[in-house]
């Protein structure tokens, strides 16, 4: 692990820094060990509730995810929607970018290659697929296995923080938003994107795998603008992807 990556990591519970100890990371204060497997540090301990449900789902569908996502986007009439939110990101050469819930890394090839990209996800299957994709695309990224609600990064570690496609189903949206703010440098624009109800309804009509896991209307599918802390600046929400998704953005003061 590169020195600059290690210097940005912390124990997500205690926030103490970490050091390398063989093929593990070790909390410098408590000695707690976080293993590194296949080059990916593991920060997930116990997962419960909705997070467990979606971790299990994404682990199962990871191998065919990219193909089925292309099919579902066609069904839902979601052409090229990623550019609509990626253009919101404020990225310059060398910018240190964090994507929370990176999945198979589908946003990575659409971003400039001269950035320092970090991705975290709860699903080990999605991260392994992401690793294979990075190899295919000849792209570099630092990947971590962890929860959005417990980010293993130090305060103000990133110049750009974004999330796309999972927050509607997170166990704790408030905590995940607070964590994104914690790891963002002062002045950073944070961008959060997910689906609105219409798009979910299309999925349920056409994707039996998802239908078994989530019944339409069983979850609260709306833009979490009310969960953004009052002190954030430039809070803005808009519909993208022909009204099928929301894009929420705000700036850390």
The residues that touch ligand SAM, with contacts defined as CB under 6 A, are: 51, 54, 58, 101-103, 106-107, 121-123, 126, 147-149, 164-166, 170
Q: How far is the CB of 172 from ligand SAM (least distance, A)?
A: 8
Distance CA 144, CA 171 (A): 19
Output 28 or 73, the one with its CB closest to ligand SAM: 73
> Smallest distance from the beta carbon of 30 to ligand SAM, in angstroms?
23
CB of 99 to ligand SAM, least distance (A): 6
Question: What is the number of the residue whose Cβ is closest to ligand SAM?
Answer: 103
Interatomic CA distance for residues 19 and 214, integer angstroms: 40
19/239 with CB nearer ligand SAM: 239
Considering the complex, what minimum distance in angstroms separates the CB of residue 94 from ligand SAM?
22
Please return the burial class of 237, using the count of CB atoms within 10 Å of its CB with bins 0-12, 13-18 and 19+: middle
Residue closer to ligand SAM, measured from CB, 27 or 123:
123
Closest contact distance (angstroms) between CB of 29 and ligand SAM is 25
Of 149 and 159, nearer to ligand SAM (C-beta) is: 149
Write phi, then psi, for 184 (nearest 5 degrees): -85, 140
Contact between 83 and 145 under an 8 Å Cβ cutoff? The reply is: no
Neighbours of 125 (CB within 10 A): 19
Lookup result for tokens 């971003």: 111
Rg (CA), the chain: 17
Nearer to ligand SAM, 6 or 86 (CB): 86
Nearer to ligand SAM by C-beta: 20 or 209?
209
Neighbours of 85 (CB within 10 A): 23
170-162-24 Cα angle (round to 5): 75
* Angstrom distance (rounded) from CA 224 to CA 109: 27
**Minimum distance, C-beta of residue 106 to ligand SAM, in the bound complex (Å):** 4
């Amino acid at each position: 692990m590169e020195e600059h990556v290690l210097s940005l990591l912390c124990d997500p519970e205690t926030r103490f820094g970490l050091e390398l100890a063989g093929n593990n990371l070790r909390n410098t204060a408590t000695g707690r060990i976080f293993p590194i497997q296949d080059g990916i540090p593991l920060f997930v301990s116990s997962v419960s509730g909705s997070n467990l449900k979606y971790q299990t789902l994404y682990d199962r569908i990871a191998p065919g995810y990219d193909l089925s996502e292309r099919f579902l986007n066609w069904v839902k009439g979601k052409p090229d929607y990623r550019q609509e939110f990626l253009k919101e990101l404020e990225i310059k050469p060398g910018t240190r970018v964090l994507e929370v819930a990176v999945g198979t890394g589908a946003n990575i090839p659409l971003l400039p290659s001269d950035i320092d990209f970090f991705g975290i996800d709860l699903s080990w299957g999605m991260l392994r697929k992401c690793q294979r994709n990075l190899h295919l695309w000849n792209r570099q990224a630092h990947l971590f296995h962890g929860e959005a609600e417990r980010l293993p990064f130090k305060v103000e570690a990133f110049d750009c923080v974004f999330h796309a496609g999972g927050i509607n189903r997170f166990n704790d949206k408030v905590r995940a938003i607070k964590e994104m703010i914690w790891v963002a440098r002062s002045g950073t624009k944070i961008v959060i994107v997910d689906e609105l109800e219409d798009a979910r309804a299309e999925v349920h009509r056409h994707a039996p795998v998802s239908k078994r896991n989530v019944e339409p209307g069983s979850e609260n599918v709306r833009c979490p603008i009310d969960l953004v802390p009052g002190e954030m600046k430039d809070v803005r929400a808009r519909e993208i992807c022909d009204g099928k998704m929301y894009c929420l953005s705000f700036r850390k003061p």
